[in-house]
Structure 1
Amino acid sequence: MHLAIFDDNNPNLEPLTLTKGVFELRLGSSSLLKQLLNSFPHHSFSLHVKDYMVDFMKEKYKVKVNELEEGEILLVNGSLIPLLLLKKVKIKERKFYLLNKDKLILALANRDEVEKFLKSKRTEVFKGEKLSLEGKFLIEYLWDIINFNEKKDIYIPEKGSRVKGLKVLGKKRNLNLVNTKIEPFVLLDTQEGNIIIKEAYIEAFSIIRGPCYIDKGTIIRGAKVNPFTSIGEESRVGCEISNSVIHSFSNVAHEGYIGNSYIGEWVNIGAGTIISDLKNTYGEIKVKGLNSGRVKLGAFIGDNVKISIGTKIFCGKTVGVCSHLYGYITEDVPSFTIYSNINGKKMVEMDLDSAIEIQKRMMERRKITQSKEDKKLLEEVYYITKYQREKLGVKKEKFSL
């Protein structure tokens, strides 16, 4: 059986999905894509994304993109949380399509039906049995990521070992270490859930409370990692962080606070930066003008963002791809924008060539070579988001503080 994983191109998930497929978002111990592929091992798969992402995805995953195999296909919504769904649903052997609040979750169908759906997004094209499922299994809004990230059963241990001599607050069996180095004077607290650390380095005086996941190559530098935190590969973390996701290749290496937030790839956050996640009024927080239903909610930071020292970001704010921040961030910031609230508000467009060069420099620090597909993706996002900058009056001029 072939898996066809599609991105439903939901604008509510921007800016996070401007540079990645929705199935690449992280939750708990892995991305949605990895959760899905682990659930269906030994199956071929293809990805179905926005047209401007095709070359980037082909280079990254080495699979068919926006192309289908012949024969029977299991079509999967890329916004799906596989670990939650597969506890409720057993995949049938006959044709079917499964809806959740009128949105397609899964369909077992032939190539012709799948092609028609991907073009029209109409479920009437399917000829199999119609099924429906109550509950919430899809990421539809940015805050859904934080809601789902709070579920203990998405922090799945891997095959690892226990290190002798470690002091653990709670049950040692909930500590899962894979080729990890831990310095003395580290507190590991498993009372509330699993701690999973894979090929990372934990420096002295760090505090790590489960459930949480720390991926390979990451260094925890005396940080306070609170429950429901997922940190991707090759990141540097030295702040206090709670109920948040750091996607990968990002730095929050110094003191500060990140709460109930999502930080994209190749982000650098300067010392003393604080992302607020609670209003003075204890009221519900809005994101893009929509009620989130949450009293605690931080910010959603797109890929390649750079944040200067001492920056303060207010609740529920979004920051677009390749933007730079200075001072107090009291509103959403579009992609490719230098935003400053120091000595008066300024919004100046980030030069495309400069953004590409900055990405190249940061990648080189992780010994990664920037590809032509990386550059092309940034170019596409720059032009796609141009209307947002024009609408907000972002100026085209040289930036200075």
Structure 2
Amino acid sequence: MKIILADFGLHSEFLPFTYTKPLAELRMGILTFRERWEKALGKKCESWGPEYLKGKYPCAPDSENLVLRATLLPTPALLDKIKGLNRGEALYQEDQLLAYRGEWVDHSDSLKLTKRDFEEELIWIQKPWDLFSKNGTAIEYDYELLTAGRSSQRLSFTNTVLGDSNLIFLEEGAEVECSILNTKNGPIYIGSEAKIMEGSIVRGGLALCEGAQLKIGSKIYGPSTFGPYCKVGGEVNNAILMGYSNKGHEGFLGNSVLGEWCNLGADTNTSNLKNNYAPVRLWDYASGRFAHTGLQFCGLMMGDHSKAGINTMFNTGTVVGVSANIFGSGFPRNFIPSFSWGGASGYTEYKTNKAFETAEAMMARRGVEFDENERAILETVFGMTAPYRT
């Protein structure tokens, strides 16, 4: 029996991040959704996504499958119910499908299964802004999941700890020197070969994943997640960088999510609060209009491979697509389509040959190949997003 992590109709809700990967491959907390389910279940899972992603993220359902809603946090009560499902049964909370066991179907409304109810509290991730607004809960969940029964590497005496030092965990090869670490609001997890450079001030929760770095004098407010091999400096508050992305210099990033292979130039700043303190609206690909987030604080949502030049200023609630290159003075508009080149004064189309040169160069710096699967995905996204550029 295969375990499939499905989006249950939420794929378009999480654009632009899901243009380039299945929903289960997004990161919040310390882990991706797939990594979290695999750790909780002790079994390998496959991530379901659109057909054009299958080259990089293969997924082939079997004659019998355990199909799970990818963006649920697997609480003990939920795991017990899932493990107890028999073939031909589905688990629901009210009208929301959580999981089922049986043959794969493309649409949940095609299911002809026996309904079982789940009435315990659930931790839902249903909108892209849930990624940062519920990140503290995910960090605490993952911290317990990853550190249970294990011992941290020793923390250097050069550091100052506020709060419980037992809520700081260093994996093998992690380095932290001459920094202030505050665990009063959440745990601090430092992955293998990750580094917090001297003079940094960290208020948890923090997930600093494998090979990631906090630059000298960084000021980090949690809950924040910096995925594998990210480089982060300046001031950051409640943000996620999913992996291989850089905000290496001064400037403010708050209540934001950046995909992979993004770069924010020196002194790039994001607004996360409107001047009139009104709730933030955010571009919603699923509805084709700006959606009410219900949040007073909401900054930047940036898809994979996008870049911002030095001194770029982003308005409150800005959405940037995949492989956009933003630069120049003034505030760019708060929805920037994929493969856009320009800024406040206007945009032209960022041609794929130039975009691919940049992607190949950046990935090579991290020892990762820009292969045919990556190229094919971005070419597909270029075609899919053309209407937004016209």
Superposition deviation, residue 29 in structure 1: 1.2
Aligned to 1:334: 337
Partner amino acid, structure 1, of 2:340: T
Partner of 1:224: 219
The structure 1 residue matched to 2:130, chosen from 137, 144, 161, is: 144
What pairs up with 1:110-121 in 2 under 5 angstroms?
Answer: 110-111=102-103, 114=104, 117-118=105-106, 120-121=107-108
Match of 2:141 in 1: 154
Residue 286 (structure 2) aligns with: none
**Residue of structure 1 equivalent to 2:302:** 301
Decide which moves more: 9-18 or 28-37.
9-18
State how far apart, in whole Å, the 1-side matches of 2:168 and 2:98 are: 33
Distance in 2 between residues matched to 1:21 and 1:101, nearest whole Å: 26
State the partner residue of 2:228. 233
Give the CA deviation at 1:381.
Answer: 0.4
Query: What is the 5 A alignment of 1:251-290?
Result: 251-288=246-283, 289-290=290-291
Distance 1:381 1:193 in 2: 37
Q: Can you list the C-alpha shifts for 1:157-191, whole angstroms capped at 9, x where unaligned?
A: 53432325243111111110112443542111111
Give the TM-score normalised by the residue count of structure 2.
Answer: 0.89
The 10-residue stretch of structure 1 (345-354 or 181-190) with the greater mean CA deviation from structure 2: 181-190
Which residue number corresponds to residue 193 of structure 1?
186
Kindly indicate whether the alpha-carbon contact (under 8 Å) linking 1:317 and 1:332 is maintained by their aligned counterparts in 2: yes
Give the secondary-structure state (helix, strand or coil) at the position aligned to 2:243: coil
Normalising by structure 1, we get a TM-score of: 0.87
SS in 2 for 1:241: strand
The answer as to 2:97 corresponding to 1:94 is no
Rounded to whole Å, the distance in 1 between the matches of 2:32 and 2:351 is 31
1:332/1:136 CA distance change after superposition, 3 Å: farther
Q: Which amino acid in 2 is paired with 1:76?
A: L
Q: Which moved more, 1:267-276 or 1:2-11?
A: 2-11
| 1:319 maps to 2:325 | no
Residue of 205, 210, 218 corresponding to 1:211: 205
Q: Distance in 2 between matches of 1:16 and 1:189?
A: 31
89-98 or 273-282, larger mean C-alpha shift:
89-98
Structure 1 123/80 Cα, relative in aligned 2: closer, same or farther at 3 Å?
farther
Match of 1:106 in 2: 99
Counterpart CA distance in 2 for 1:106 and 1:354 is: 43
Secondary structure, aligned partner of 2:134: helix
Q: Deviations over 1:75-123 (max 9, x none)?
A: 1122323358737856314343122452321112x22xx2xx32x3315
CA distance in 2: counterparts of 1:271 and 1:78, whole angstroms:
35
- In 2, distance between residues paired with 1:144 and 1:45? 23
1:131 counterpart = 2:117: yes
1:100·1:135 contact (CA, 8 Å) conserved in 2? no
Partner secondary structure for residue 38 of structure 1: helix
| Residue equivalent to 2:364 | 364
Alignment of 1:372-391 (within 5 A): 372-390=372-390
In 2, are the aligned partners of 1:55 and 1:373 still within 8 Å (CA)?
yes
Stretches of structure 1 lacking an aligned partner (at least 5 in a row): 59-64, 391-401
Report the equivalent of 1:35.
Answer: 36
Secondary structure of the residue aligned to 2:133 is: helix
C-alpha distance in 2 between matches for 1:383 and 1:198: 37
RMSD value over aligned CA atoms? 2.0
CA distance in 1, matches of 2:24, 2:260: 15
How far apart, CA to CA, are the structure 2 residues paired with 1:9 and 1:293?
A: 19
Whole-Å separation in 2 of the counterparts to 1:377 and 1:90: 33
CA distance in 2, matches of 1:316, 1:99: 33
Q: Is the 8 Å Cα contact of residues 207 and 225 (structure 1) preserved in structure 2?
A: yes
Deviation at 1:132, TM superposition (A): 4.4
How far 1:125 moved relative to its partner?
Answer: 2.0
